[in-house]
Amino acid sequence: MSSTPTLVRRRPNHRRLSTPSRPPRPHRLSFCQPLPPSLEALDLSSASPTQTLASLRFLVLSYLAEIELRLSYIGGEEHSELPITDQSNTIDDVRDWARTTLDMLDSIRADVCSHLPEFGLPDITVEKLRSHLPDLPEVPSITSHLPDFDFDFDDFDLRNKLDDVRTRFNDLDFHQPLEFIPTLSARLQTLQSHMSTIELPQLGQTGGGTLHSLHLLLHDLVDSLLSSELVTDILNSAPDKGLKLKESLKESEEMLERAAKEVAYAVKRSFEGVKLISYSDLPQEWKNNPFVTQGYRFIPIERWHLIVLSLFALHNETLNIHTHLVPFSVWLFKSVPCGSADADLPEILFMSFALLCLLSSAIWHTMSGCAHLSSMEFCARVDYVGIGWLISASVGTIVHYGFQDCHPTLHKSFLALCFATGLAGNIFPFMKWFNEYQYRGYRVLFFLSLAFSSLAPLAALAYTQSIREMFEFIKPVIPSLLSYIIGLVFYVSHVPERYLPEDWRRRLDTFGGGSHCIWHCFIVLAVSQHKAAIRAMRDGMVCYA
């Protein structure tokens, strides 16, 4: 077979009357900022890290501009044919190759501008800098060998092809310039690999004037930078940091992708929120009680009216909602002023925080069937805030009536402690880990610690008065304390659903008659009992001179 190269001629450009002529593509020599007029000597081993990074920035931008200058001449109007030895490479192949290269140059340039520092340096000209680089041909010496392609880059879309390349470098947003060096090396090597996919050997007829020489230049540039002592020391100072960040990004992407698939599947199973689904259909973040297996809502937030209407439907949260919503409504109605001065300020404050707890609980159990994770989690955290303030207000009533007359200093100090525990109940629930199921035990311990803060004022009462008088004083509170404890046991143990047969579980899941509902009933009972205890404690302690 003859080795004579085949001449691939360009077809005459017969423009349709309905199609406007395409303007020639201007030369794209874009830099983030104009190049500095001079540089320090590129002795990477003796330069400071900032100088090294600035020099790296200048070298890479100069190299990208040199490649772009050569590619821009492909759009010249004076050439009409291109010698190609590889019959598999058509004019369209070369066009795609050049376009992809230009897009990759833009992407690398943007990353370099955003990660590497720039500053003006004296004492060496750009011409002297170029003496550090291999000899490159003058642009006119190679333009005569490039085709007269009419590249209309604005109309031809290669984004889908570039996505496959760009997803290979996931180290996207490094915050430290030094950590960007390995990423830059990988980006440049990818660019070099891409440029080598098209063979144009006829460009080598002028000495050194081939694209292959540009590839060699890039190889030498990367090797010299990465092998310098300073850059090696910089990279070795944090050898695993970039890798860990890359792995973390990959893990986050996989987790988001998994969560999105689980949510889409659950929405599909629920027929866009119309049908109840099972525990196994739920995404991981919505799974709270593995012993409640049926009756779950999963309603897209866009269909919020279905969430509201679910207040009046049967599902596994029905009783959990109404065991707190009904008492809230009754007590709120009774709290409307009607001319009675029977309630004092501590009782009013306690009932206000109790109503807050009941309302936030009802909202959370309504929103637990929402398919929007952020909204669902926010309501769950607000529910925890209501519990924290209820506990702090309960302890506060004991402190107020126990110390207000005899020990005003202790009265103020312990009330400040109650306020601090209430603030803690505002802060901790909004920590990321707090609402996760595996930390359920820690949540219980946290709220128990808020309740145990009452031991300090009780010990002070026993010390300033006597143990017998302290027990006589808190005796009215004991029934509500027992109700809280019994309800908490049901909540923690998942009794009775843990031990029921599957068919009985399904029946309870129809309306939500499990351990959580029982816990709610004991909370309402405890609030009612503590309200009665407040009136029994109003007389306070007897002061001894």
Tokens encoding 432: 């990321």
* Residue whose token pair is 């959370």: 364
The answer to whether 315 is a known ligand-binding residue is no
The Cβ-side half-sphere exposure at 367, using a 13 Å CA radius, reads 20
9 DSSP assignment: E
Are 181 and 234 within 8 A, CB to CB? yes
Are 188 and 104 within 8 A, CB to CB? no
Tell me which amino acid residue 412 is.
Answer: K
How far CA 139 is from CA of 72, 146, 150, 208, 218, in Å, comes to 11, 11, 19, 12, 18
Strand partners, 296: 277
On the 0-12 / 13-18 / 19+ scale of CB atoms within 10 A, 361 is buried
Cα separation, 270 vs 277, in Å, equals 6
Cα separation, 176 vs 382, in Å, equals 37
Which strand (E) or helix (H) includes residue 402? helix 373-403
Cα separation, 354 vs 389, in Å, equals 8
Cα separation, 37 vs 122, in Å, equals 8
The Cβ-side half-sphere exposure at 432, using a 13 Å CA radius, reads 0
545 DSSP assignment: -
The Cβ-side half-sphere exposure at 385, using a 13 Å CA radius, reads 16
Cα separation, 330 vs 98, in Å, equals 75
Cα separation, 545 vs 539, in Å, equals 17
The answer to whether 365 is a known ligand-binding residue is yes
* Binding site members for Zn(2+): 365, 516, 520
Which residue ranges make up the annotated binding site? Answer: 365, 516, 520
